Amino acid sequence: MYKLQRGALSADGSAAKVVAVNRNDIWSIPFDLANIDYANFKRDINDSKDKLQDADGNEMSVADAKAYVATLP
């Protein structure tokens, strides 16, 4: 299971943007094309091998997870 991770709240108190993804073992994976864990995350979601939660902990549908991953670098 992967979960999206937000950065720090902005100065105006609005929700921060998603900056990384956490694996179920609590490791944080930055959105970095050179990071092998990032490549594995994208592959796992695209191949439906694993699930993705939004930053609030809600499980995303397979279609929504794949659509979100498609927007990442």
- Return the residue matching tokens 């929700």: 15
pLDDT tens string for the chain (73 positions)?
999 998 877 777 676 788 999 998 788 999 999 999 999 999 999 999 999 999 999 999 999 999 999 999 9
Whole-model pTM: value is 0.85
Contact by Cβ (8 Å): 60, 53: yes
Contact by Cβ (8 Å): 43, 35: no
**DSSP assignment string, the chain:** -EEEEE-PPPTTSPPPPEEEEEETTS-EEES-TT-HHHHHHHHHHHTTSS-EE-TTSPBPPHHHHHHHHHT--
